[in-house]
Amino acid sequence: MDDIIKQQADDQKEDQVFFDLWLKGDQRGFSGLYNRYKNRVFGFLVRMTGDREIAEDLLQDTFLAAMRNANQFDRQRNFLSWIFGIAHKRTIDYFRHVKVENEHQADTDKSVGRGANTPDVDFSNMQVRGYINEALKTLDPMQREVFLLREVGDVPFKEIAQIMNCPINTALGRMRLALKNIRKELKRNGLHGL
């Protein structure tokens, strides 16, 4: 466990270096941060919206918003948590304004899990991805948000509670239920306990 904590601290230091370069106008700064986290943020956005094109637009919005608000970034905070906070807000704004919640429920599987840019991914991972996506679709939206923020974004629960504007116990309760429901779905597909 100490190794994981040490790794997280090292990652945070590297993020700070990239962030400083970015603020100085060095291209390596932004591309370093972007290449490090784009897949996680995009994975979160795709699963939240259920549409790759919309997720790409939101990905662009997220990083542009990060650029505009770079001066508000608290250096004590994890960059990944901050960028996921922005991505979450963009997603909520998107649903609020466009009101396509029903569509994204129905269309999730047409685009998620295609893995267009990961041709070397093996079949078992693709299969698991499909089952996970199916399981995620069965979740309550709030449970799905907590699960994705935690598992894709590695955002601490304390910050998830801040991002979702709820008490930490609510976030923990949603996570517990999300895990329970996902496990149930995976079991139904004969995946749990592999």
Partner 1 sequence: MDCNKWQEEGLLYVSHELDAAQVATYENHVQGCTVCQDELSNYLHDKKSFFHADVLCEAPSPAIDDKIIAACSRLPRATHGAGIFASVWFKRALISSVFLIFGTTAGVYFTMNYYNGTANPAGFALSKASANMASRVDLAKSADSMQALKKDSLIKKPVEHFANRLRPNPSTRGIITVDLKKE
Tally Cβ neighbours within 10 Å of residue 87: 30
User: Taking phi first (over 0 means left), then psi (-120 to 50 degrees means alpha), and beta for anything else, what does residue 37 get?
Assistant: alpha
Q: Tell me whether residue 99 or residue 144 sits nearer to partner 1 (CB atom).
A: 144
Distance CA 75, CA 143 (A): 29
- Tell me whether residue 130 is exposed, middle or buried, using C-beta atoms within 10 angstroms of its C-beta: 0 to 12, 13 to 18, 19 or more: middle
- State both tokens at 26: 């060095």
Name which position in 100, 157, 166, 189 contacts partner 1 (CB under 8 A): 157
| Interaction of residue 84 with partner 1, rule CB under 8 A | no
| Interaction of residue 17 with partner 1, rule CB under 8 A | no
Q: Which stretch binds partner 1 (CB under 8 A): 10-18, 29-37, 86-94, 96-104?
A: 29-37
Distance of closest approach, residue 75 Cβ to partner 1, in angstroms = 8
Within positions 97 to 116, which residues make up the interface with partner 1, using CB under 8 A?
112, 115-116
Distance of closest approach, residue 112 Cβ to partner 1, in angstroms = 7
- Tell me whether residue 146 is exposed, middle or buried, using C-beta atoms within 10 angstroms of its C-beta: 0 to 12, 13 to 18, 19 or more: buried
- State both tokens at 15: 């993020």
The alpha carbon of 55 is separated from its chain's Cα centroid by a whole number of angstroms, namely 11
Name which position in 18, 46, 82, 91 contacts partner 1 (CB under 8 A): 46
What is the contact surface with partner 1 in residues (CB under 8 A)?
1, 4-5, 8, 22-25, 27, 29-31, 34, 38-40, 42-43, 46-47, 52, 55-56, 59-60, 63-64, 66-72, 112, 115-118, 121, 125, 128-129, 131-132, 148, 150-152, 156-158, 169, 172-173, 175-176, 179, 182-183, 186, 191-194
